[in-house]
């Protein structure tokens, strides 16, 4: 379980602890779908609210299957080719070996557009298209993702399941409301769902179910 509480130190970060910048639509741990031959990305996420910020920053969800229906065949074709390098989050790059900081050229869409698996993150410096045509199609996909999205206030008592294989999520920018002792009020909890940890066997275990992105062999 990760506790997502805004950190006043991290307010300008693009992470679950940030606040002042919108955390734009992304698939969780997108780059980890294409690390070598393994997929380390969670298949789903659970979010629940513990404490609600009165400003109600929303978590937004977007079903990529709906977004893909808005795109041209040419854009689908581009997004299905290995034309995109997907990067690990900025905060990780300092401690990650260079060869694991970004994927080799990978597709954004795998499978058919009715039954796709998608991989992307739209906050800054997360996906590097390898040419202009690929970049244009990615931008159109981003706009379509925004268009079909909807907001949810993850308040206490609500449990949201996000299928991380084709559902993007984002978090609004907000200025955290503080309690009497000066601590941010907002508090969400997040769980990563993985059907099994077989792929993780080559990673360095930090704790029982916590792994470091450094290959063991």
> What does the binding site for Fe ion look like in residue numbers (CB under 5 A)?
28
Residues in contact with 191: Cβ distance below 8 Å, sequence separation at least 6, in sequence order: 1, 2, 45, 46
Collapsing DSSP to helix, strand or coil, 73 comes out as helix
| Cβ-contact 15, 89 below 8 angstroms | yes
Is the Cβ of residue 59 or residue 137 nearer to Fe ion in the bound state? 59
Task: For the beta carbon of residue 95, count every other beta carbon within 10 angstroms.
Answer: 10
d(CA 172, CA 196): 32
Output 45 or 109, the one with its CB closest to Fe ion: 45
Q: Least distance (Å) from Fe ion to the CB of residue 205?
A: 23
Q: Residue 182, Cα to own-chain centre: how many angstroms?
A: 29
Minimum Å gap between C-beta 44 and Fe ion is 12
Pick between residue 15 and residue 155 the one whose CB is nearest to Fe ion: 15
Place of tokens 């290959």: 215
Residues 169 and 121: beta-carbon distance below 8 Å: no
Q: Which residue is nearest to Fe ion (CB)?
A: 28
What CA–CA distance (Å, rounded) separates 161 from 168?
12
Residue 13 or 28 with smaller CB distance to Fe ion: 28
Q: What are phi and psi of 88, to 5 degrees?
A: -75, 160
Question: Least distance to Fe ion from the beta carbon of 32, Å?
Answer: 12
Min. distance of Cβ 25 from Fe ion in angstroms? Answer: 9
| Cβ nearer to Fe ion, comparing 25 with 34 | 25
At its nearest, how many Å lie between Fe ion and the CB of residue 11? 17
| Residue whose CB is less far from Fe ion, 84 or 122 | 122
CB of 145 to Fe ion, least distance (A): 14
* Strand ranges across the sheet with 44-51: 2-4, 187-193, 44-51, 159-163
CA distance 157 to 142: 31
152/56 Cα distance (integer angstroms): 9
């Amino acid at each position: 379980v990760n506790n997502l509480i805004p950190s006043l130190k991290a307010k300008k970060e693009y992470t679950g602890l940030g606040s002042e910048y919108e955390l734009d639509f992304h698939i969780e741990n997108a780059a980890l779908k294409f690390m070598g031959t393994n997929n380390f990305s969670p298949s789903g996420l659970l979010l629940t609210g513990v404490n609600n910020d009165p400003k109600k920053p929303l978590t937004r969800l977007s079903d990529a299957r709906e977004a893909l229906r808005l795109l041209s065949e040419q854009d689908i074709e581009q997004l299905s080719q290995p034309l995109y390098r997907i990067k690990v989050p900025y905060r990780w790059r300092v401690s990650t070996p260079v060869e694991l900081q970004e994927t080799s050229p990978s597709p954004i869409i795998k499978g058919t557009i009715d039954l796709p698996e998608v991989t992307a993150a739209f906050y800054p410096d997360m996906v590097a298209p390898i040419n202009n045509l690929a970049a244009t199609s990615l931008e159109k996909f981003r706009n379509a993702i925004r268009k079909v999205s909807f907001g949810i206030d993850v308040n206490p008592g609500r449990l949201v399941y996000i299928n991380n294989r084709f559902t993007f999520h984002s978090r609004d920018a907000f200025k955290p409301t503080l309690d009497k002792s000066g601590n941010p009020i907002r508090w969400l909890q997040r769980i990563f769902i993985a059907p099994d940890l077989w792929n993780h066997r080559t990673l360095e275990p930090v704790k029982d179910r916590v792994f470091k992105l450094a290959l063991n062999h």
